[in-house]
A = this chain, B = another copy of it.
C-alpha cells in the first residue's frame, strides 16, 4: 500500500497534489470512516472533549441545539470507532464521563485547524454568499 503519511505526500508534490482516486471508490475503507466522523455534531463533540473529560449533560449544555437522542447516538458512534472513551464513575446518582481516547487526540489538531479556518475566512464566505444570492435573486 502506498505511503499516505503527510510527510510522504509533501515529498511527492509539495504544492497541492490531488488525492488518490481510490479514496472515492465505494470499496475504499476510508469512505466508511468519513461517513462516521465527517459530520457536524461529531466534530463539535470532539471539540468539547478537547477541554477534558466531560459528563453527558455538561456536553449537552455546551452544544446548544443538540437533542438528547442525537448526543447519545453520536457519542456511541464515536465510542465505537475508538475516538471517545466512556467511563461510569459511581452509582448514586449515576455519573458518566466522556473523554478523548488517544486515537481521538490524534484527530484533534485537524479538527482544530478546520475551526480556525472557519473563523479566518468567515468574511470571505459571507461575501461569496451575498454575491451568489444577488446573482440568483
Let me know if A6 and B80 touch, CB within 8 A.
no
Of A10-18, A67-75, A89-97, the segment with at least 4 beta carbons within 8 Å of chain B is A10-18
Size category of the A interface is 35 or more
- Once A18-B51, A116-B5, A116-B9 are accepted as A-B contacts, the answer to whether A122 and B29 lie under 8 Å apart by CB is yes
Let me know if A26 and B64 touch, CB within 8 A.
yes
- Complex Cα spacing A118 to B31, Å: 9
A105 at the interface (CB under 8 A from B): yes
What residues of B have a CB within 8 angstroms of the CB of A108 in the complex?
9, 13, 16
Q: Looking across the interface, which residue of chain B has its beta carbon closest to that of A38?
A: B40
Q: How many monomers of this chain does the complex have?
A: 2
Let me know if B122 and A33 touch, CB within 8 A.
yes
Let me know if A102 and B5 touch, CB within 8 A.
yes
A residues 75-132 with Cβ under 8 Å of B? Answer: 79-83, 99-100, 102-103, 105-110, 112-122, 124-129, 131-132
Pick the most buried of A17, A26, A114: most chain B CB atoms within 10 A of its CB: A114
Given contacts A4-B116, A82-B127, could you give 9 more A-B pairs where the C-beta distance is less than 8 Å?
A5-B102, A9-B112, A16-B105, A16-B108, A18-B48, A29-B122, A30-B119, A82-B125, A110-B117
Subset of 10 A-B contacts with CB under 8 Å: A6-B116, A9-B108, A13-B108, A15-B109, A18-B51, A24-B47, A30-B122, A81-B125, A81-B128, A110-B114
